[in-house]
Amino acid sequence: MSRVLDTEILIVGSGAGGAVTAARLAEAGRSVTIVEEGPWHDPDAVEPFSMEEMVAKYRHQGACAALGSPGIAFAEGRCVGGSTEINSGLYHRLPAELATEWKASYDIAEFDTETLDHYASEIETALTVSQLPGPAPRSSAILDEGAQGLGWRAVEFARVFAYDERGRGTKQTMARTFIPRAIEAGAEVIPDCTVVSLRRGGGRITGVKCQQRHPSGDTEELMIRADEVIVCGGAIQTPALLQRSGIRWRIGNGLKFHPTVKVAARFPYEVDHDDVPMHRVTEFAPFLTIGGSASRRGHVALAIADAASGNLDEALEQWENVVVYYAAIRSVGSGKVLAIPGLRSPLVTYHLTDGDLSCLARGLVHLGEVLLAAGATELFPSIAGGPIARSRSDLLSWWNALTRSSANLMTVHLTSTVRMGEDRSRTGADSFGRVWGYSNLRVNDASLLPDAPGVNPQAAIMAIAARNADHLLGKL
């Protein structure tokens, strides 16, 4: 027999969407239960961007990929707080022109800039979104200096960081902010609890079948009955759960990434490696953005490996002088998430168009130009056997070298698998996340975004989640 738990509102997932939703509803006096597939780790237990963090907090310890030509590696958080525990904390509101475009294209109600800005302001206050209190670290200033040398635009992005009187920053993850707020308001969090399927009946979700793992290693079946079920598992796990439960209308199609290509840049001096650069080159935004990545020794080794052609040890000498940077695009292509019976993880595919590949090659060359303008002496592109660049003329070979078979691509921004709007022919949920055909089932995470926003989507996810939670409160 399964253990049975009753709650008013069940939230599946504790990332940016789930945590905001939980806090909003619990603070309004609702009975809220959060189930999280991953464990609960103290945010300070492991070093950010370390191998220990990947093992503890990443799904499949970081080894996720979308099949395609080329394949694209991606990262998902799998812990209380979701991907907010592992990302860089960079923050950018949804561009107003995109909100206007999405509202018109998908017939999204109450999706004007004024509404979104109202919720964004609340989120920014809660997370102490701010810029650095002092000068940017060298790894970040490099992007600004390179852009200035070329006459291109660059900006310092704000971050979800709180700074003390000495200027030391602490990333304001969901495990530090909205999850504690939800708990203080009476919400219950159940970590290490996998939702297997949703039970359906009469246009409603009648129960949620779970498997809870205990510290002893034992697994217990748990059935949760709730008046409202809100799925916030992210753009991969949310559609996978819905499909496993027999809910497939416009679910899992239209997956969007920011396909990303990287360059490891060597400089004639040591560069900091403790943080992710805050500056972004926005000359070609929103369709192409240039920024910096995590650059611990392991990251540097991975970034150099493609172009080092067997001379990795030599290339890693003075690795402290090397920083990893990237160029990311808003792709025309898209992907799919498909839950296959018998497999624990969904099949994820992604199709890059020829135009996307051309944009990535252009981005790679522009990235090289910025880094050389900032004083880089050697550039290793994430191209299998790719030519190492030491001068601007060397960059010309990158255009033809980046092919479907040679490109090593990745992403951390996943959206658009349960798109929202009133146009039922193109969406899986209504304007506020209610899944079509079900009165008490909602989605409230990155899945709802109709397209990749060209910036870190966390700000948009959280603003939309707060908006949708308030709309639900008005209906209860």
The one catalytic residue among 118, 351, 413, 471 = 413
- Measured between alpha carbons, how far is 238 from 16 in angstroms, rounded to an integer? 13
Helical ranges in 374-426 per DSSP H: 396-401
User: What is the per-residue pLDDT for 309?
Assistant: 63
Pick the range with the lowest mean pLDDT from 249-253, 265-269, 385-389, 402-406. 385-389
Mean of pLDDT values over 38-53: 89
More confident residue, 470 or 45: 470
Closest C-alpha among 281, 230, 288 to residue 17: 230
pLDDT in tens, 125-179: 999 999 999 999 999 999 999 999 999 999 999 999 999 888 889 999 999 999 9
Does the pLDDT value for residue 45 go beyond 70? Answer: yes
3-state DSSP assignment of residue 289: strand
Q: What is the DSSP letter of 189?
A: E
pLDDT in tens, 284-304: 998 999 999 998 888 888 888
Percent of the chain with pLDDT over 70: 99
> Are the C-beta atoms of 229 and 441 separated by less than 8 Å?
yes
User: What is the per-residue pLDDT for 385?
Assistant: 87
Does the pLDDT value for residue 313 go beyond 80? Answer: no
- Measured between alpha carbons, how far is 415 from 254 in angstroms, rounded to an integer? 9
User: What is the per-residue pLDDT for 308?
Assistant: 65
Sequence letter at residue 414: L
- Measured between alpha carbons, how far is 224 from 7 in angstroms, rounded to an integer? 7
User: What is the per-residue pLDDT for 424?
Assistant: 94
- Cα 364 vs. chain centroid, distance in angstroms? 22
Q: To the nearest whole number, what is the mean pLDDT of the chain?
A: 94
- Measured between alpha carbons, how far is 254 from 250 in angstroms, rounded to an integer? 9
413 is catalytic: yes
pLDDT in tens, 218-265: 999 999 999 999 999 999 999 999 999 999 999 999 999 999 999 999
